[in-house]
A and B are shown apart, each in its own frame.
Chain A
Amino acid sequence: MSGAHHGDHVHTHDHAHDPLHAAEPRPEYARLERAVRELLIAKGVFTAEDIRKQIELMDSRSPAMGARIVARAWVDPDYKRRLLADAKAAAGELGVDTSNTATVVALENTPARHHMVVCTLCSCYPKAILGVPPAWYKSSAYRARAVKEPRKVLAEFGTVLPDGVEIRVVDSTADMRYLVVPMRPSGTEGWSEERLAGLVGRDSMIGTALAAAP
């Protein structure tokens, strides 16, 4: 088989298989990941069981943990002060394991200022408290548009704020992970912490939504 003939064959072959490649985006990265993972296991850096446990731990985290933290801050001003001063320690008080995470900073929404978190460089997110981020948080559309037209993006999430409210987009570009503390909805006076936590959705802690109305 001549080189030229071989080249023609490969060309035809690639075309025939394009749909398969499209079904699995970037298969080269999947192969690279598998090769590196198997090498690290073979060299004893970690075991397959370690990886499984880590995935299980990540999947066990959910926005419900963040909701408990926010609800506690709503009912306990001292806790709120500690949360705003050191969110990692305050999360630890409620049994959230933050030992392996980056520094977490809690930002309080007020009638004057609404925070909305984005990571324009990648997808930094307070995973230890909220679990894995939603797909849209990692999308290039959200990352690019949140900084440029935040009010429009918020409106697309169904969150319309009065014109006078400052929207502060928080780009987590470095070692901090940001947790938004939404405002406590009115009409919830006297509610238990547990009941309040039910109003705190994931998006309200990213800042693309408000806490739910009672």
Chain B
Amino acid sequence: MTFAPGDKVRVRDHWPEAEGRKVHVRTPHFLRGRVGRVERHLGAFGDPGSLAKGGDGLPKLGLYMVAFERADLFPGTTRGPETLTADLYDNWLEKIG
């Protein structure tokens, strides 16, 4: 999946660690299911889930810096000029809108 800067994306609301298997996931819990915008494409990098188990990390995954509004991440906090970016692999992102 490829995305362009400005694309509105949702982080998958997916909890593989809850399925009882040993997994290595680099998508923070507080971002699951949240909506942000692609800020920039950072390149293609080895799949961390595969690398953590001694695998070759292939196929590589696209990595994107995604920007979120703080108020969208933490309901109840006041909306202000506060944003957060995280670097997320394309298999965790779904284009919306």
Q: Which residues of A contact B (CB under 8 A)?
A: 103, 105, 120-121, 147-151, 163-176
**A103, A167, A170, A171: which has the most chain B beta carbons within 10 Å?**
A171
B residues whose Cβ falls under 8 Å from a Cβ of A: 26-28, 30, 42-43, 45, 48, 63, 65, 67, 70, 73-74, 77, 80-89
- In the complex, what distance in Å separates the CA atom of A121 from the CA atom of B87? 12
**Residue among B26, B77, B81 having the largest count of chain A Cβ atoms under 10 Å:** B81
Contacts of B86 in A (CB 8 A): 171, 173
Q: A121-B26, A121-B28, A174-B26 are in contact. Are A103 and B42 (CB under 8 A)?
A: yes
Give Cα A175 to B83, complex, Å: 20
Contact A173 B87 (CB under 8 A): yes
A167 vs B77: C-alpha distance when bound (angstroms)? 14
16 pairs of residues in contact across A and B, judged by CB atoms under 8 Å: A103-B42, A121-B26, A147-B70, A147-B73, A148-B70, A150-B70, A165-B81, A166-B82, A166-B83, A168-B83, A169-B83, A169-B85, A173-B28, A174-B26, A175-B43, A175-B87
**Which A residues touch B48, using CB under 8 A?**
174
List the B side residues contacting A166 at CB < 8 Å: 81-83
Q: Is the CB of B43 within 8 A of A103?
A: yes
Could you tell me if A150 and B43 are in contact, using CB atoms closer than 8 angstroms?
no
CA distance A117 to B85 in the complex (A): 10
B85 lies within 8 A of A168 (CB): yes
Alpha-carbon distance between A149 and B84 when the two chains are bound, in angstroms: 11
Q: Which of chain B's residues have a CB closer than 8 A to the CB of A148?
A: 70, 74, 77
Query: A175-B45, A175-B63, A175-B87 are known contacts. Are A150 and B28 too (CB-CB below 8 A)?
Result: no
A163 touches B87 (CB 8 A): no
Q: Which of A151, A165, A168 has the most chain B CB atoms closer than 10 A to its own CB?
A: A168
User: B63: nearest residue on chain A (CB-CB)?
Assistant: A174
| A168 / chain B contacts, CB cutoff of 8 Å | 67, 82-85
CA distance A172 to B86 in the complex (A): 6
Q: How far apart sit A169 and B65, CA to CA, in the bound complex (Å)?
A: 12
A residues near B26, Cβ cutoff 8 Å:
121, 173-174
Interchain nearest-CB distance for A151 vs B (Å)? 7
Q: Given known contacts A166-B81, A167-B83, A173-B87, what 19 new A-B pairs fall within 8 Å (CB)?
A: A147-B30, A147-B73, A147-B84, A148-B70, A151-B80, A163-B81, A166-B82, A167-B81, A168-B67, A168-B82, A169-B82, A169-B83, A171-B84, A171-B85, A173-B26, A173-B28, A173-B88, A174-B26, A176-B63
